[in-house]
Structure 1
Amino acid sequence: MSSSDTPTGPSTVERAFRTALYDSADASLDSGASLLAADPAADAELVRRGEEFVAALWARGWQPADVVRVVRRELGDAPVCLLAELIRAQAPRDRVRGRRWRDQLAQLDEVLAEAPPRPDRFSHATAVLELYRLLLRLPALEPLQDAPPHGSGRTNTAGGSGGSGGSGGRMLARIRALLAKAEATGFPEEAEALSAKAQELMAKHSVDEALLDAAAPAPDAPGACRIGVEPPYEQAKAVLLDAVASANHCRAVWNEPFCFSTVVGFEADLEVVELLYTSLLVQAQSAMTRAEAAQRAGGRKRTKTFRQSFLAAYAHRVGTRLAEAAGSQVTDDLLPVLASREVAVTAAADRLFPDTVSTRLRGVSDEAGWTEGARAADRAQMRSRPRLPSE
């Protein structure tokens, strides 16, 4: 038998995968990482297989921002950098995607810019295998598509495309990151400073004006996007997002296990929902921090039930205000337009989510929190929504 006829066994990568990816034990992860760390020649195949896992996720309905959100929550920041490298490397071989997808890829640049130095080979291989193990176990999601492209679009004063694309998408990511830090800290002064910085960004980039003063023509059919609804107090936040979506002729469906809501609607409405929800969340966080400070001044410690009740009341009252504002702008000539759009949105949402269930809001038992949340909602700034173009 010639040397070329000699059968070859499984590669190092394949052996590491057999050991580590299909077993949740830490010992198996260490064994797989040891195999990879000892064979530098396996690095290229390891990356290639990761790109294949990413492509498989896209086929199962996931989008870049969805995977980044899950990986960060489950594994931390360091594996997010590994994921961003894989997504970027796979992108040139991917099919042409829509604007929202491109915006999500652009946001990965900030992740990669903050990537830490690569650790030793064993630690790196361990992190890669942990990441791949998670990617393999993510279930299929409802496939989303951008709303159909519209030729006219709108242009902002900076010369870029309007809405949440480009720098707007990165700005939203920065605001959400500041909010997450504000909610995670145990120091009220730090929370107040982080919330103030988020509000400064909102003002600097004129978010409210950009989303509410521009009137983009409606595309031919509804689209959909996913918006992160992160812990803590995610139930109340999901209620707030649902209220914003409903008032703007959209439907929101919450996926509790993966911490996001899918919002279905026309493109201009989706932009309004995403930005207005973020704006209201900024205001809620700042108002809640001030209300807690007043409670502490009165001798009461910060409690989880106070925050949950505050945000629940805030969401409920904001929903009422938004619905009243939306109804006040409906004129007789817009009724047929709104009716046809509502039918289209409902049909699209029902196709994506034929089976949905209602969730009861839990943990709303603090009277002071509810009262303060309702007051904050009455003070929240909500500009008038742009009129829908007549057809």
Structure 2
Amino acid sequence: MGSTRTYIREEDLGAQALLDELSRAYERGWQPADVLHVTARSGDLSDVPLGAAAVLFDAHRSRAEHRAPDGWLRQIRSVADRHPPLAALATRIPPGDRGPLFGAALQHALPEVTRFQVTGLAFTWKYLPRFTVLAPPPSRWPSLRTADDTGGAPDPRILDRIRGLLSKAESTDFPEEAETLSAKAQELVTRYAVSAALLAGGDDASGIRGVRLHLDNPYAREKVLLLTAIGSANRARTVWFAKLGIATVVGGDVELRQIEVLFESLLVQATRAMTAAGTGGRAGGGATAFRRAFLAGYADRIGERLREADARATVDAAADAHMPVTTLAPILARRSEAVDDEFRRLFPATRSTRTRTVDAEGWHAGRGAAENACLTSPSMPGPR
């Protein structure tokens, strides 16, 4: 039988107020990864483990493991992986505890934490504004999650293979090898997504939702350009909240998971290529302008390559499904329209922005580097 460790309450750190503000933030549309992202951006990195402890304890007391939507649960597990001692601490506190034992346990796990720091973080969370609700908050979770609550995410085995291919692409020193892996990735992503759309049986809005990705400086705006290019090629829409450093991508479940994986890998490849390119002999502000232009050019060319690969794969997917492409195209068009409808519902007041004037040499250097980027998604089988 398991045992529950007893913590003696030494000082009231105000932990209950912190947990209360976290719960209220969730009800206003924030999710665990969002809260910790803005906490890290607040300037005091010592707040991050404190925030993580609160998130993990709250997940334990709300029985998130058995009740939360799949995307929410992935966020909790990611936090636990980054903070193993805090995750262990959370599970040793009885789920029914409303704060006192959590406050005492904090003093053992994070002895430097003060009441001033706890109340300061609670104050920060208190004034988080309303955010678009992308997933049900804990108050709306079922008593027990069912299979239908896990969404239409791709087969984990497929994602594992995608990650394996991308890992090879990120580690190779040979552009030709990355190029060989390259366009096949998006083609295989498209085939898988088309199969999922056909299996939806004409339910064009099936599995369409939004997910948030958190981007940090430097060059956050240019990173969003890359994310937007990847999303657009996969029938998804992207909106950027610059003040928060958060992008929301709206699309189908299958596409969203693969967009995340592709973006993570292509960002690694873009950063490596940018570092290898140097600064074109510039220094100071000129070097910054060159790098921004490099990443913008990289994103532009990646978008072109992904769309080209998607077009080829759509033809192949139609052949696999034994239907003319003229029959498949309207199905995918209706799917895109459903994504647009959901995007407008979630974000009725957005505006488009244009890329600023950029360093021409950096732009073309970035486009050239994108020619050697591997677009392979880590979970798809290789070409036959």
TM-score between both structures, scaled by the size of structure 1 = 0.68
Q: Does 1:381 align with 2:374?
A: yes
CA distance in structure 1 between the partners assigned to 2:379 and 2:78 by the alignment: 28
Task: Check the 8 A contact 1:81/1:112 in 2, yes or no.
Answer: yes
Residue pairs, 1:223-234, within 5 angstroms = 223-234=209-220
Aligned pairs for 1:328-367 (under 5 A) are 328-330=312-314, 331-362=325-356, 364-367=357-360
Please name the residue that 1:28 is paired with: none
Give the aligned residue type for 2:288.
K
Residue in structure 2 matched with residue 132 of structure 1 by the alignment: 122
Where structure 1 has 5 or more consecutive residues not aligned to the other structure, the ranges are: 1-38, 157-161, 176-194, 198-202
Does the alignment pair 1:372 with 2:359? Answer: no
1:155-191 deviations in Å (ceiling 9; x for gaps): 42xxxxx648xxx8xx9xxx9xxxxxxxxxxxxxxxx
Deviation at 1:333, TM superposition (A): 3.1
Of the three residues 62, 65, 72, the one matched with 1:93 is 62
Separation in structure 2 between the aligned mates of residue 148 and residue 247 of structure 1, nearest angstrom = 27
Say if 1:223 and 1:163 are closer, same or farther in 2 by CA, change over 3 A: farther
For 2:230, the equivalent position in structure 1 comes to 244
1:42 aligns with 2:34: no
- How many residues get paired? 302
Go from structure 1 to structure 2 and tell me whether the alpha carbon gap of 1:366 and 1:223 turns closer, same or farther (over 3 Å shift). Answer: same
Is residue 30 of structure 2 the alignment partner of residue 62 of structure 1?
A: yes
Root-mean-square deviation over aligned CA pairs: 3.5
Shift of residue 130, structure 1, vs aligned partner: 2.5
Once the two structures are superposed, residues 34-87 of structure 1 have per-residue CA deviations (whole angstroms, 9 ceiling, x without a partner) of: xxxxx94423xx212211111101100001111111111113432111111111
Aligned pairs (5 A) from 1:216-365: 217-218=196-197, 220-292=206-278, 295=280, 300-301=282-283, 303-330=287-314, 331-362=325-356, 364-365=357-358
Q: Structure 2 regions of 5+ residues with no counterpart?
A: 1-8, 87-107, 137-147, 173-177, 201-205, 315-324
- Per-residue CA deviations over 1:285-344 (Å, capped at 9, x if unaligned) read 000000007x4xxx5446111111101111111112212222233332321220221121
Q: Cα 1:75–1:114, aligned 2, differ >3 Å: closer, same or farther?
A: farther
Maintained 8 Å contact 1:144/1:225: yes
1:52 to 13, 20, 29: 20
Structure 2 CA distance, aligned partners of 1:49 and 1:126?
Answer: 12
Other-structure match for 2:143? none
Query: What one-letter code is carried by the residue in structure 1 that aligns with 2:366?
Result: G
TM-superposed CA distance for 1:126, in Å, is: 2.7
Conservation of the 8 A alpha-carbon contact between 1:326 and 1:385: no
Q: Which amino acid is the alignment partner of residue 235 of structure 1?
A: R
- 3-state SS of 1:332 partner: helix
Identity, % of aligned positions: 32
Q: Does 1:106 align with 2:106?
A: no
The secondary structure found in structure 1 opposite 2:238 is strand
1:209: Cα distance to partner? 7.0
Per the TM alignment, residue 88 of structure 1 is displaced from its structure 2 partner at its CA by 1.5
After TM superposition, list the pairs within 5 Å mapping 1:139-154 onto structure 2: 139-145=129-135, 149-150=150-151, 154=155
Letter in 2 for 1:107: S
Instruction: Tell me how far 1:150 sits from its aligned partner.
Output: 5.0
Task: Tell me if the contact between 1:317 and 1:377 (Cα under 8 Å) persists in the aligned partners.
Answer: yes
Contact 1:226–1:262, Cα closer than 8 Å, also in 2? yes
CA distance in 2, matches of 1:150, 1:140: 25
Cα distance 1:318–1:111, how it changes in 2: closer, same or farther (>3 A)?
same
Runs of 4+ in 1 over 4 A off after TM superposition: 114-117, 150-153, 208-211, 213-216, 384-387
- After superposition, the Cα gap between the structure-2 partners of 1:152 and 1:241, relative to the gap in structure 1 and judged at 3 Å, is closer
**Contact 1:238 1:261 (C-alpha < 8 Å) held by counterparts:** yes
Q: Return the offset for 1:214.
A: 5.8
> Residue 223 of structure 1 aligns to a residue in which SS?
strand
Partner of 1:4: none
Alpha-carbon offset, residue 376 of structure 1: 0.6
Structure 1 CA distance for aligned equivalents of residues 22 and 81 of structure 2: 19
Q: Quick check: 2:230–2:303 contact (8 Å CA) kept in 1?
A: yes
How far apart, in 1, do the equivalents of 2:236 and 2:334 lie? Answer: 13
After TM superposition, the score normalised by the length of structure 2 is 0.69
Q: Provide closer, same or farther for how the CA distance between residues 301 and 356 of structure 1 changes in structure 2, counting only shifts above 3 A.
A: same
Partners of 2:39 and 2:45 lie apart in 1 by 8
Q: Conserved in 1, the CA contact under 8 Å of 2:297 and 2:364?
A: yes
Higher RCO by CA contacts (8 Å cutoff, separation 6 or greater): 2
| Inter-partner Cα distance in structure 2 for 1:314 and 1:47 | 46
CA gap 1:77/1:318 in 2 versus in 1, 3 angstroms:
same
Distance (whole Å) between structure 2 residues aligned to residue 152 and residue 224 of structure 1:
13
1:118 matched to which residue of 2? Answer: 110
Rate the CA distance shift 1:334–1:383 in 2: closer, same or farther, 3 A. farther
**3-state SS of paired residue (1:329):** helix
Cα distance in structure 2, aligned partners of 1:209 and 1:377: 14
SS in 1 for 2:114: helix
Task: Report if the CA contact (8 A) 1:240-1:316 is conserved.
Answer: yes
Amino acid at match of 1:61: G
For residues 74 and 152 of structure 1, the distance between their equivalents in structure 2, rounded to whole angstroms, comes to 33
| Matched position secondary structure for 2:277 | helix
In structure 2, relative to structure 1, the CA distance for the partners of 1:277 and 1:93 (3 Å cut) is same
Judging changes above 3 Å, is the alpha-carbon distance between structure 1 residues 249 and 82 closer, same or farther for their aligned structure 2 residues?
A: same
The answer (yes or no) to whether the contact 1:225–1:270 under 8 Å persists in 2 is yes
Secondary structure, in 3 states, of the residue corresponding to 1:139? coil
